[in-house]
Amino acid sequence: MLSPTDRVPVCGRFAPSPSGRMHLGNLFCAFLAWLCARSENGRFVLRIEDLDTGRCRREYAQILEDDLRRLGLDWDEGGSAGGANGPYFQSECSALYTEALELLRTKAHVYPCFCSRADLHAASAPHRSDGTVLYSGRCRSLSPKEAEARMQQRRPALRIEVPNAAYGFTDARLGAYCQNLARDCGDFILRRSDGVFAYQLAVVVDDARMGVTQVVRGEDLLSSTPRQIYLQKLLGLRTPEYFHIPLLVNEQGVRLSKREKSLDAGALFARFTPQELTGWLAYLAGQLPRPEACTPQELCTVFCRSKVPADSIIVPDALLNGQ
Ligand code: GLU
Quote the ligand 1 centre to 223 CA distance (angstroms): 13
Quote the ligand 1 centre to 49 CA distance (angstroms): 7
Determine which of 66-70, 119-123, 285-289, 316-320 has the lowest per-residue pLDDT on average.
119-123
Nearest-atom number in ligand 1 for the CA of 203 is 9
Residue 11 Cβ < 6 Å to ligand 1: no
Q: How far is the CA of 271 from the CAs of 70, 267, 280, 322, in angstroms?
A: 14, 6, 12, 6
Determine which of 34-48, 127-141, 236-250 has the lowest per-residue pLDDT on average.
127-141
Strand partners, 188: 160
Mean pLDDT in residue range 278-296:
98
119 with 128: CB under 8 angstroms?
no
Classify each residue of 248-271 as buried b or exposed e, where b means 16 or more C-beta atoms within 10 Å of its C-beta. Answer: bebeeeeebeeebeebbbebbbee
Backbone φ and ψ of 275, nearest 5°: -70, -40
Backbone φ and ψ of 169, nearest 5°: -160, 170
Quote the ligand 1 centre to 151 CA distance (angstroms): 32
Report d(CA 230, CA 64) in Å as an integer: 31
Residues sharing a CB contact under 8 Å with residue 115, sequence separation 6 or more, in sequence order: 135, 138, 139, 157
What's the mean per-residue pLDDT of the chain? 94
Q: Which of 29, 217, 222, 228 is the pocket-test mutation for ligand 1 (most atoms within 8 Å of CB)?
A: 217
Residues sharing a CB contact under 8 Å with residue 166, sequence separation 6 or more, in sequence order: 178, 179, 180, 181
Q: Would you say residue 175 has pLDDT above 60?
A: yes
Q: Would you say residue 259 has pLDDT above 60?
A: yes
Residue nearest to atom 10 of ligand 1 (CA): 16
Kind plus residue range of the DSSP H or E element containing 215: strand 214-218
Selected residue with higher pLDDT from 309 and 121: 309
Per-residue pLDDT tens digits for 98-126 = 999 999 999 999 999 999 888 887 756 67
Q: Which of 196, 212, 21, 200 is nearest to 91 (CA)?
A: 196
Backbone φ and ψ of 43, nearest 5°: -75, 160
Q: Would you say residue 143 has pLDDT above 90?
A: yes
Q: Which of 14, 17, 222 is the pocket-test mutation for ligand 1 (most atoms within 8 Å of CB)?
A: 17
Q: Would you say residue 97 has pLDDT above 70?
A: yes
Residue nearest to atom 6 of ligand 1 (CA): 15
Quote the ligand 1 centre to 17 CA distance (angstroms): 7
34 with 217: CB under 8 angstroms?
no
Selected residue with higher pLDDT from 259 and 145: 145
Cα angle 53, 97, 46 (rounded to 5 degrees) comes to 65
**What is the pLDDT, as a whole number, of residue 258?**
76
Residue 207 Cβ < 6 Å to ligand 1: no
Nearest-atom number in ligand 1 for the CA of 49 is 1
Nearest-atom number in ligand 1 for the CA of 13 is 8
321 with 56: CB under 8 angstroms?
no
Residue nearest to atom 3 of ligand 1 (CA): 16
Mean pLDDT in residue range 187-213:
97
C-alpha torsion angle, residues 295, 299, 305, 307 (rounded to 10): -90
Per-residue pLDDT tens digits for 16-41 = 999 999 999 999 999 999 999 999 99
Determine which of 39-53, 67-81, 125-139 has the lowest per-residue pLDDT on average.
125-139
112 upstream amide cis, omega within 30 of 0: no
Quote the ligand 1 centre to 81 CA distance (angstroms): 20
Quote the ligand 1 centre to 51 CA distance (angstroms): 11
Report d(CA 304, CA 38) in Å as an integer: 12
Residue 184 is given by DSSP the state I
Quote the ligand 1 centre to 244 CA distance (angstroms): 11
Q: Would you say residue 5 has pLDDT above 60?
A: no
Mean pLDDT in residue range 194-210:
97
Q: Would you say residue 287 has pLDDT above 80?
A: yes
Report d(CA 29, CA 49) in Å as an integer: 15
Cα angle 235, 237, 240 (rounded to 5 degrees) comes to 140
Quote the ligand 1 centre to 171 CA distance (angstroms): 17
Mean pLDDT in residue range 216-235:
97
Selected residue with higher pLDDT from 194 and 321: 194
Selected residue with higher pLDDT from 186 and 262: 186
Quote the ligand 1 centre to 144 CA distance (angstroms): 35
Selected residue with higher pLDDT from 274 and 136: 274
Mean pLDDT in residue range 300-304:
96
Q: Quickly state the pLDDT bin for 265 (edges 50, 70, 90).
A: very high
Q: Quickly state the pLDDT bin for 88 (edges 50, 70, 90).
A: very high
**What is the pLDDT, as a whole number, of residue 123?**
58
Q: How far is the CA of 192 from the CAs of 114, 117, 188, 234, in angstroms?
A: 10, 12, 10, 20
Residue 191 Cβ < 6 Å to ligand 1: no
Q: Would you say residue 158 has pLDDT above 60?
A: yes
**What is the pLDDT, as a whole number, of residue 253?**
87
Q: Please tell me whether residue 270 adopts helix, strand or coil conformation.
A: helix
Residue 17 Cβ < 6 Å to ligand 1: yes
